[in-house]
Chains A and B, each alone.
Chain A
Amino acid sequence: MSVRQETLARTSERPEAEQRQIDKALARKMRKRGDESKFWWLIPTLYIIFLMLPIYWLINMSFKTNQEILGAFSLWPKSPTLHNYAVIFTDPSWYKGYINSIIYVVMNTVISVLVALPAAYAFSRYRFLGDKHLFFWLLTNRMAPPAVFALPFFQLYSAFGLIDTHIAVALAHCLFNVPLAVWILEGFMSGVPKEIDETAYIDGYSFPRFFVKIFVPLIASGIGVAAFFCFMFSWVELLIARTLTTTAAKPIAAIMTRTVSASGLDWGVLAAAGVLTIIPGAIVIYFVRNYIAKGFALGRV
């Protein structure tokens, strides 16, 4: 910072414009961790390196052959190969896992968001009998351990003959995704002033028309964030998805754990499969970067 300490002091003689300049410089200086630390960037950098190393290692492994992985230890692939990815894209028992995962995740996201939209609107706009209890009850479902539900889910969906179907997993994941979507959407909807609703009604809009034509576009980013988090939490869940499926709807996550325990040999393919599961998150992460905290905190930041 070139501006020296004394010149930053506030005095009344200076003209207003100049003073504002100084205030800005001052604020900028304060935002940049005090006067002395020139190495503030060191901490985030070290942290990011710590985060990236295991991911790099997985990517590194996915481009190696099994002989190279188990043989010579090297920090980067000596003879990069796409063989591991080729295995996944040509073997149905592998790529079907991705298709299964995507099918039930998309079903779940669509159901969750569609059902949550009116409910979130009700919670953000109206008071009604038992609203607070209901809102709390939804939260308990988000916080409920999947382990508690694994066995009863299995029996419930067996009774309906839904085991090993995509819709079973999609419905089961609604347990935590619907509450999540309601809470996130309620957070966003509470940011929209109520006068907008009232003006629309005065202008003669019916409720459905107002909701679709005016309100939904206003909270479009909220819907995007809710959908993203539903997608993500359904995509990362393993326990319930594994319990409810056997072959036809088996998700990629379950296929991966099987490979680990059964053979423990095909490290390259395992790494490639892992890299491919990271990609959906990595693609959209840039678009939701400012909402990640809000999404994880159930729309309460």
Chain B
Amino acid sequence: MEKTWNNKAWFMVLPVLLLVAFSAVIPLMTVVNYSVQDTFGNNQFFWAGTEWFEEILHSERFHAALGRNLVFSFIILAIEVPLGIVIALNMPRKGWGVPVCLVLMALPLLIPWNVVGTIWQVFGRVDIGLLGYTLAKLGINYNYVQNPMHAWFTVIIMDIWHWTSLVVLLCYAGLVSIPDAFYQAAKIDGASRWAVFRYIQLPKMNRVLLIAVLLRFMDSFMIYTEPFVVTGGGPGNSTTFLSIDLVKVAVGQFDLGPAAAMSIIYFLIILLLSWVFYTIMTNYDAER
């Protein structure tokens, strides 16, 4: 759409600016402030320069949490994206099946995150949960509270349960926008099922898939509530992702300096990813 140049539009944006500045810029300045200072209590602060940043960047604990978070994000992307595509391709396009599928599939997306955690915490318990009970009956010594592998399995399957529908719904939105004529042409050319997918459906899903991957990556990168409720970051530190670690340092130990430095590094990573997201979105909008 052709947009007219009008700087008075600033007045319409002003309320948003003030509100978000209050709830984002001021807290962020506090964080920056803490990240370069040291304190021994009593509200006395000393200049610490880049000390905390160096400490965090060299700390094994931070590396471990970051590594765990990256591994987690890649595992869930590797499972959720192909699974989401397959399900979206097989969803009905007409009739009563469409609303039924959409409503039932979207349901996990709208459940409060801590309830998602609670559901899986209960579901995985050997004594009272269906999943844990079944696995135990199958002879597997399943215990997500003590076995790190089982904790990871639970957290990953929970995330698949929670978020695959987002990929499905986005891909489905891309698929229904393909005109019938495309399929007719493919039929006349005698295109195989794979060719139809590769040359018609996949290109049409390109953009929604990118959005899905980016959203899933970012949301899994700041995951907190669900693993916190299920495993509390344990056993040991095995499911302590970045957010959980950060809250432990900031609220648990009240180490303001390191927590603030960690926040800033964390935030810069997110900023970079947001920029990628934004560039892709605006490039597409320019084509539209």
Report the bound CA distance from A236 to B9 in whole Å: 33
Contacts A139-B277, A178-B19, A301-B173; A260 near B208 (Cβ below 8 A):
no
Determine whether the beta carbon of B27 is less than 8 Å from that of A115. Answer: no
Instruction: Give the distance to chain A from B28, nearest Cβ to Cβ, in Å.
Output: 7
A side interface size, CB within 8 A: 107
Determine whether the beta carbon of B119 is less than 8 Å from that of A122. Answer: no
Determine whether the beta carbon of B20 is less than 8 Å from that of A179. Answer: yes
Interface of B, helix, strand, loop or mixed by DSSP: helix
Determine whether the beta carbon of B270 is less than 8 Å from that of A143. Answer: yes
| A232 proximal to B (CB < 8 A) | yes
| A153 proximal to B (CB < 8 A) | yes
Instruction: Give the distance to chain A from B207, nearest Cβ to Cβ, in Å.
Output: 8
Q: Which residue of B lies closest to A111 (CB)?
A: B19
B side interface size, CB within 8 A: 113
Q: Which residues of B contact A292 (CB under 8 A)?
A: 102, 106, 109, 169
Determine whether the beta carbon of A50 is less than 8 Å from that of B115. Answer: no
Determine whether the beta carbon of B24 is less than 8 Å from that of A148. Answer: no
Report the bound CA distance from A147 to B148 in whole Å: 24
Interface of A, helix, strand, loop or mixed by DSSP: helix
For B241-277 the 0/1 string (1 means CB < 8 A from A) is 0111011001100001001000100110011011101
Q: Which residues of A contact B173 (CB under 8 A)?
A: 293-294, 301
Determine whether the beta carbon of B129 is less than 8 Å from that of A147. Answer: no
Q: Which residue of A lies closest to B277 (CB)?
A: A139
Contacts A54-B161, A141-B20, A292-B169; A274 near B250 (Cβ below 8 A):
no
| B30 proximal to A (CB < 8 A) | yes
Report the bound CA distance from A52 to B3 in whole Å: 46
Report the bound CA distance from A179 to B285 in whole Å: 18
Determine whether the beta carbon of B99 is less than 8 Å from that of A300. Answer: no
| A200 proximal to B (CB < 8 A) | no
| A282 proximal to B (CB < 8 A) | yes
Report the bound CA distance from A70 to B10 in whole Å: 61
State which of A144, A148, A285 has its C-beta within 8 Å of the C-beta of B110.
A285
Determine whether the beta carbon of B13 is less than 8 Å from that of A123. Answer: yes
Contacts A54-B161, A256-B115; A138 near B16 (Cβ below 8 A):
yes
Determine whether the beta carbon of A140 is less than 8 Å from that of B30. Answer: no
Determine whether the beta carbon of A257 is less than 8 Å from that of B107. Answer: no
For A216-249 the 0/1 string (1 means CB < 8 A from B) is 0000000000000000100111110001000000
16 more A-B residue pairs beyond the given contacts A153-B23, A156-B30, A236-B110, with a C-beta to C-beta distance below 8 A: A34-B193, A48-B101, A48-B104, A119-B16, A128-B9, A128-B13, A134-B17, A140-B270, A143-B274, A148-B31, A152-B31, A175-B23, A274-B115, A282-B110, A292-B109, A293-B172
